[in-house]
Amino acid sequence: MSFSNTEVKLVRSAITLFPPEHVLLFLLPEIGLPMEKPFTVTASFMAQERVDKVTVWDKRGKHDVKVVQAPW
């Protein structure tokens, strides 16, 4: 169940890989209004070469997510 004040985070995996992998976490409040709402999360990392995708893990498994390149 989701709540109106659920905090959503991307946390970098402790495994040292490049490009880095992340875990999608939902931090549930002790008290909140039950509801579903859209969310956006971001993460950034430095790279000397172009990275097209990163891996994000959640309770359903591994997902490849397209990387949006920052302008130089």
Task: Kindly write down the DSSP assignment for every residue of 16-29, as one continuous string.
Answer: --SSPPEEEEEE--
Q: Is the pLDDT of residue 1 over 80?
A: no
Residue 10 lies in a domain: yes
Structure confidence at residue 25 as a pLDDT band (50, 70, 90): very high
pLDDT of the residue at 69 = 86
Residue 44 lies in a domain: no
pLDDT of the residue at 57 = 95
Count of domains for the chain: 1
pLDDT tens digit sequence for 34-65: 888 888 899 988 888 889 999 999 999 999 99
Domain extent at residue 15: 1-38+51-72
Q: What share of the chain is helix, strand, coil (3-state, %, to 5)?
A: 0, 35, 65
Residue 67 lies in a domain: yes
Percent residues over pLDDT 90 in the chain: 40
